[in-house]
């Protein structure tokens, strides 16, 4: 027998005195690698399958199109949607908790449908499932943009005087604006659009990831998944940047010329809808090449033949028929088998905690920057995107690269996650960094008459019938900011400001007697450079938070039986979303609402969105949420490391069993090995006949 034959682990039919165990034992001796019909795995549309399309029938080309899909998906769902949080609150009169529902409904749809999609999508034709998912995403983006084209022009109070007025003027204002309450009903259109986005997203990240894992060796799978998830993170970054630029354009720019508002005005609403229209077109374009792929890639059969099991040891003894069935009636049985796998269970719970914290922060990160540092909505969105590119994308890429370069197995990847989890926990303290809120009369400082704060009404403006429906900040020369000219007690408009302001006079009596009773429009200028410290630390915190993603995904794919991988991803997505990313944005939105100091109130004291927040309470609440769920995730990683049992070493290594009399030693395992050798040789011969090279690949 030649040295090459020994290395590859084949049994020479003429060598009857030696039994050779293969270096890479298949999970089941009875399972022989199969090669699909060559016509079924070709690229093309129907019977049209030209040769030039076969140049794209490989894992790298497939990864390119999946990365394009992931980029557009992240662009619209986690980028544009998050950028538009404040704009949707202003345009449709929604509080943060209800806007958080828009993000959560994506995960509700993904959680519920993920189970069915993952179970039914476990077979072949995965590329076709992904292409249909792309069309679903296109429909979702269409419905998200639809409310802009079915509503009237945005009313920001342009026909209403903000100076001191009597009750009769207030009643006229109510009559003019009362018909805007129906806008809140458009929330349900946004929710339906997010449901369609969820259908497409869950199919992409369950069936699409399984398609990649089916087509490349296990040693390359973390790297491919790392690249895929890096582009998935690049999408939100582009959404933040491009969507942020769109917010500098007035929402009705094509119908209204020359408005008095500027992006710095808190009443400003940008062109939030453009990003959804762009995503609709891109999804249609990406779906075309995905429909061209066949039942599987040509490399899939070769990958199946060479895959080594790293399944949790307790699962190795399960009956084969319990793991290979993909009928709906067997779904509960497969679910129970997964729940018996402690590594899978604890990794899923860790992902749930991470999802809860990450989903809330990603949804409201532009809003956090805008309120804590006084940035405009557009600039806050751009900054969030600039941080997301090197942070999240780089973290996911490095996570996959570490797994590949260090040749980490399941235990090594869990150790990596434990380390980066506790490092990220320390860095989450960055949310304490903030700028102090301006001196706002009745909010952070008292009027001349001391009353409990916040209370923007005082004796100096009590006769003006002021409301908080429209926020038009004005600033006096002693740097006191007022909610509006009406709240400053101003009687008339002069140039770019207001004059005869009774509340400014009251401050002058208690302070400087020479202070004028005029105010200028806009917020008072402040000097705060904490943003330049906040951003780089936040970048590092995001980096370490996302390093965990590729190892966690690879652990999930490696610690379970091959035939349950797609279904396991569906279960994991269901749990992570149901307990993590679904309640996350809603919970964060409610926490943000709880720190509100001044609400926008419509006629009849109807509260809609918030104008001014308590910065200190906002930082404290964000920190407590992040730290609690990060500690929980760290504990889950530790439990996964403790209870994971790798396969027995003898089942993954090559040993040569030769007795002292040079006779063959046969036991039950040798019988299985001989069967694998025979079927393996036959299958490799079939592979070579179909143009595949016989090449061993290293395993994690």
What sign does the dihedral 87-93-96-100 (CA atoms) show?
A: negative
Q: What is residue 3's predicted lDDT score, i.e. its pLDDT?
A: 44
The closest of 537, 536, 233 to 398, measured between CA atoms, is 233
Q: What is residue 57's predicted lDDT score, i.e. its pLDDT?
A: 82
Residues in the chain: 700
**Spans of the chain, pLDDT less than 70:** 1-40, 114-115, 118-124, 157-162, 165-181, 218, 258, 300-301, 303-331, 448-451, 506-515, 603-606, 648-700
Q: What is residue 437's predicted lDDT score, i.e. its pLDDT?
A: 84
How confident is the model over 579-608, as pLDDT tens digits?
Answer: 888 888 889 888 888 898 888 877 656 677
Q: CA-CA distance, 281 to 132, in Å (whole number)?
A: 15
The closest of 314, 420, 189, 228 to 647, measured between CA atoms, is 314
Are 367 and 380 in contact by the 8 Å Cβ rule? The answer is yes
Reduced to 3 states (helix: H, G, I; strand: E, B; else coil), residue 59 is helix
Residues of the chain with CATH 1.20.1250.20: 58-156+179-436+528-643
538 Cβ contact list (under 8 Å, min separation 6): 387, 391, 430
Q: CA-CA distance, 545 to 302, in Å (whole number)?
A: 35
Distances (CA, A) of 9 to 1, 5, 400, 652, 695: 11, 6, 30, 12, 13
Residue with the two structure tokens 């797994």: 403
Q: What is residue 134's predicted lDDT score, i.e. its pLDDT?
A: 92
Helix axis angle for 187-203 and 126-150, nearest 10°, is 160
Task: Give the β-pairing of 492-494 and 497-499.
Answer: antiparallel
Listed in sequence order, the DSSP H helices in 154-206 are: 167-177, 187-203
How confident is the model over 195-213, as pLDDT tens digits?
Answer: 999 888 888 888 888 788 7
DSSP for 299-368?
THHHHHHH------GGGTTS-HHHHH---GGGHHHHHHHHHT-HHHHHHHHHHHHHHHHHHHHHHHHHHH
pTM over 0.95: no
Backbone angles phi, psi at 521, to 5 degrees: -70, 150
Would you state the CATH architecture of domain 58-156+179-436+528-643?
A: Up-down Bundle (1.20)
Distances (CA, A) of 252 to 257, 271, 311, 471, 512: 9, 7, 57, 20, 44
Q: What is residue 119's predicted lDDT score, i.e. its pLDDT?
A: 65
Task: Give the β-pairing of 606-613 and 596-602.
Answer: antiparallel
How confident is the model over 617-628, as pLDDT tens digits?
Answer: 999 999 999 999
Q: What is residue 651's predicted lDDT score, i.e. its pLDDT?
A: 43
What sign does the dihedral 437-440-442-447 (CA atoms) show?
A: positive
Q: What is residue 697's predicted lDDT score, i.e. its pLDDT?
A: 30
Beta bridge partners of 665: none
Distances (CA, A) of 134 to 257, 279, 297, 364: 37, 11, 19, 26
Q: CA-CA distance, 510 to 503, in Å (whole number)?
A: 11
């Amino acid at each position: 027998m030649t040295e090459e034959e020994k290395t590859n682990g084949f049994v020479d039919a003429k060598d009857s005195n030696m039994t050779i165990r293969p270096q890479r034992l298949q999970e089941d001796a009875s399972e022989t690698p199969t090669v699909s019909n060559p016509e079924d795995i070709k690229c093309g549309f129907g019977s049209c399958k030209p040769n030039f399309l076969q140049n794209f029938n490989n894992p790298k080309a497939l990864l390119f199109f999946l990365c394009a899909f992931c980029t557009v998906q992240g662009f619209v769902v986690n980028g544009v949607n998050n950028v538009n949080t404040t704009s949707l609150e202003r345009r449709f009169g929604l509080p943060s908790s209800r806007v958080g529902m828009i993000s959560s409904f994506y995960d509700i749809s993904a959680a519920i449908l993920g189970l069915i999609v993952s179970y039914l999508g476990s077979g072949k034709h995965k590329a076709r499932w992904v292409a249909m998912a792309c069309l679903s995403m296109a429909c979702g983006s269409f419905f998200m943009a639809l409310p802009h084209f079915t509503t009237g022009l945005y009313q920001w109070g342009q026909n209403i005087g903000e100076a001191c007025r009597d009750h009769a003027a207030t009643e006229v204002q109510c009559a003019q604006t009362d018909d805007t309450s129906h806008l809140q009903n458009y929330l349900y259109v946004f929710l339906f659009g997010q449901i369609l986005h969820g259908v497409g997203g869950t199919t992409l990240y369950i069936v699409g990831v399984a398609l990649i894992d089916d087509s490349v060796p296990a040693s390359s799978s973390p790297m491919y998944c790392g690249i895929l998830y890096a582009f998935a993170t690049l999408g939100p970054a582009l959404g933040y940047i491009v969507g942020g630029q769109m917010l500098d354009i007035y929402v009705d720019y094509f119908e209204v010329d020359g408005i008095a508002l500027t992006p710095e005005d808190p009443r400003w609403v940008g062109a939030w809808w453009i990003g959804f229209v762009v995503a609709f077109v891109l999804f249609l374009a990406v779906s075309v090449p995905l429909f061209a792929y066949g039942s599987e890639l040509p490399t899939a059969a070769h990958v199946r033949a060479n895959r080594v099991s790293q399944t949790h040891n307790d699962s190795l003894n399960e009956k084969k028929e319990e793991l290979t069935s993909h009928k709906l009636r067997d779904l509960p049985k497969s679910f129970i088998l997964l729940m018996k796998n402690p590594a899978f269970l604890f990794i899923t719970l860790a992902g749930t905690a991470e999802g809860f914290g990450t989903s809330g922060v990603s949804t409201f990160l532009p809003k956090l920057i805008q309120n804590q540092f006084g940035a405009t909505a557009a600039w806050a969105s751009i900054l969030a995107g600039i941080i997301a590119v090197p942070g999240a994308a780089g973290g996911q890429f490095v996570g996959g690269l570490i797994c590949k370069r260090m040749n980490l197995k399941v235990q090594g990847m869990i150790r990596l996650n434990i380390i980066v989890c506790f490092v990220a926990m320390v860095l989450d303290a960055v949310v304490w960094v903030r700028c102090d809120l301006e001196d706002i009369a009745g909010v952070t400082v008292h009027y001349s008459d001391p009353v409990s704060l916040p209370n923007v009404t005082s004796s100096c403006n009590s006769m003006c019938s002021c409301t908080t429906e429209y926020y038009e900040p004005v600033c006096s020369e002693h740097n006191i900011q007022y909610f509006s000219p009406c709240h400053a007690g101003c009687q008339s408009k002069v140039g770019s400001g207001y004059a005869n302001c009774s509340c400014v006079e009251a401050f002058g009596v208690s302070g400087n007697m020479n202070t004028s009773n005029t105010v200028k429009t806009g917020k008072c200028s402040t000097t705060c450079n904490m943003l330049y410290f906040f951003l780089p630390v936040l970048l590092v915190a995001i980096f370490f938070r996302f390093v965990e993603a590729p190892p966690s995904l690879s652990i999930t794919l490696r610690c379970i039986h091959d035939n349950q991988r797609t279904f396991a991803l569906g279960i994991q997505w269901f749990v992570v979303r149901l307990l993590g990313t679904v309640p996350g944005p809603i919970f964060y939105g409610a926490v943000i609402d709880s720190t509100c100091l001044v609400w926008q109130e419509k006629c009849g004291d109807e509260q809609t969105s918030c104008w001014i927040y308590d910065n200190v309470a906002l930082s404290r609440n964000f920190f407590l949420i992040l730290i609690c769920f990060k500690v929980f995730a760290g504990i889950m990683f530790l439990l996964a490391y403790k209870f994971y049992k790798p396969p027995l070493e003898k089942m993954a290594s090559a040993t040569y069993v030769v007795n002292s009399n040079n006779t063959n030693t046969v036991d039950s395992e040798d019988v299985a090995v001989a069967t694998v050798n025979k079927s393996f040789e036959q299958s490799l011969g079939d592979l070579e006949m179909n143009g595949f090279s016989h090449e061993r690949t290293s395993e994690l």
